[in-house]
Structure 1
Amino acid sequence: MSEPAYDFGVVCEARADRDTACVLADRVLMDAIDWLDEELLDTQRRWRGLTPSEPFLRWASVREEAKKAGLKGLFGHFGNKPAEPDALVARRALLLFVDSDTKPQAVMLVRDSDADDRRRIGLEQARGDKPWPFEVVIGVAEPKRECWVLTGFKAKAHEEEAFHDLAQRLSFHPIRDAHRLTASEHGAKNDAKRALEELTSGNLERERECLRETPLENLRQRGERVGLTQFLSEISERLVPVMDGSRRSGK
């Protein structure tokens, strides 16, 4: 089998983050580029880690990978400003892709904000640090990935009772106000993971339905306060031009 024409690197924390971001990115790409074929998509593009055989690069592994690679210039300011959260680790990750045997045409940095607005600023600092030889796409789920999935949730008949129970327990709308699910402790009252599990009964295929079947325009409209609207715009503005040939990667 021939190699895909486009290689896109992914940096994230877990497989679920990778799958969520890549499903959404694929939808934007297919919506914008006529020649993409869903059945042939895996032969047209590849989401990968530092090597094509790895599904993603884990944030927690970046420091050790940079150490093994002997990378230099990992510290210091960004312009005349100190590094915000995630800026240094994102710089390391991008340098690792620069140093990889087969460079991707783009790298996607996907992160939960964990209710810290400075994380997005840190990723933007890393992106603006130098003219990278690939496009850099940023996706920050605010506060967590599960909020992106909730944005695409519409209760089916057998889920309506669980939805109303959840809304009553939270005292706010768990879809429209998903940005308020800010608990850092799993299982807490306003924990995004708990809310999603209650609505989908922990069914991963139901999660995928929320991402794959909800119209993109609905996701854009509902996703403003959870970072999803911004991520979909990043894909449209930065990744689509790389793949349809209207912009060279890294330009």
Structure 2
Amino acid sequence: MVCEAPADRETACLLADRVLVGAIDWLDDGTLDTQRRWQGRTPNESFLRWASVRSEADKAGLKGLFGHFGSKPGEPDALVARRALMLFMKADKAPDAVVLIRDSDADPRRRLGLEQARDDGRWPFQVVIGVAEPKRECWVLTGFEARAHEEKALDELEQRLSFHPVRDAHRLTASEHGAKNDAKRALKELMSEDPERERECLRDTPLASLQAQGSKVGLSKFLEEVRQRLVPVVSGTSPAP
């Protein structure tokens, strides 16, 4: 797992696990931990942090990772993703899959950059890409259904934004923390920084609803990536990468 913060890891792992259990008939919540392990480069690391990739690559002696991707220059995140994938190739035990989770920060080129890195070579593992558009919090908002005591906060937030913060979460594009259309601020106003309430949005909302409602925030693409690339790995039906 490559991401930037524990919340990103938890969100991606929870969603991926739901897809795995739903798609593999012999897998359930009770046996899940015996079939997969989420980690960073070693079992002692919960994830590889994007901000640490360059320094870790230098420590590992990885050289010559600059340059073009095919005949094109790298888009944002292409080079750092290439370094990250190379680090996993040099691990004592190569993983079966690497999951790259990133906020787009309203820059669609970030997904292109991750795809460039994935297409850069024949990696000995599957590469799963998840880009939250524009922020991870928008994935959580996609699964939000207001309870009775939350309806007032939702109405007030919609009035302040002049758009619906759940249906139009992709419009929460502010880069400045606390700005009017900041996704983190919207989530805080609706859920009062309650991590369990956030988990409920991702854990209890039907996957079909998340798939249908998450197209504009990158969630639908991530769920489909998990189905196409990770489910075969865990089920044992994966072709060679």
TM-score (normalizing by structure 1): 0.95
1:88, CA displacement in angstroms?
Answer: 0.2
**1:170 counterpart = 2:170:** no
Which of 72, 81, 90 is residue 81 of structure 1 equivalent to?
A: 72
State the one-letter code of the partner of 2:165.
P
1:132 corresponds to:
123
1:37, CA displacement in angstroms?
Answer: 2.2
Which of 215, 240, 243 is residue 234 of structure 2 equivalent to?
A: 243
- 5 Å-filtered alignment, 1:63-212, equals 63-212=54-203
| 1-structure distance, mates of 2:32, 2:6 | 19
1:7 corresponds to:
none
1:42, CA displacement in angstroms?
Answer: 1.8
State the one-letter code of the partner of 1:198.
E
State the one-letter code of the partner of 1:81.
K
User: Structure 2, unaligned stretches of length 5 or more?
Assistant: none
2:220 corresponds to:
229
1:40, CA displacement in angstroms?
Answer: 2.8
Aligned length: 241
| 2-structure distance, mates of 1:25, 1:211 | 11
1:246, CA displacement in angstroms?
Answer: 1.4
TM-score (normalizing by structure 2): 0.99
2:98 alignment partner, SS class: strand
| 2-structure distance, mates of 1:160, 1:71 | 52
| 1-structure distance, mates of 2:214, 2:129 | 15
1:245, CA displacement in angstroms?
Answer: 1.4
- Give structure 1 regions of 4+ aligned residues with deviation exceeding 3 angstroms: none
User: Structure 1, unaligned stretches of length 5 or more?
Assistant: 1-9
Instruction: Report the RMSD for the aligned CA atoms in angstroms.
Output: 0.7
Q: Percent sequence identity over matched residues?
A: 73
2:200 alignment partner, SS class: helix
**1:216 counterpart = 2:197:** no
1:200, CA displacement in angstroms?
Answer: 0.7
State the one-letter code of the partner of 1:220.
Q
Asked if 1 retains the 8 angstrom alpha-carbon contact of 2:35 and 2:234, the reply is no
After superposition, give the CA deviation of every residue in 1:174-227 in whole Å (9 maximum; x if it has no partner).
000000000001111000000001111110000000000000000011100000
1:46 alignment partner, SS class: coil
| 1-structure distance, mates of 2:43, 2:90 | 14
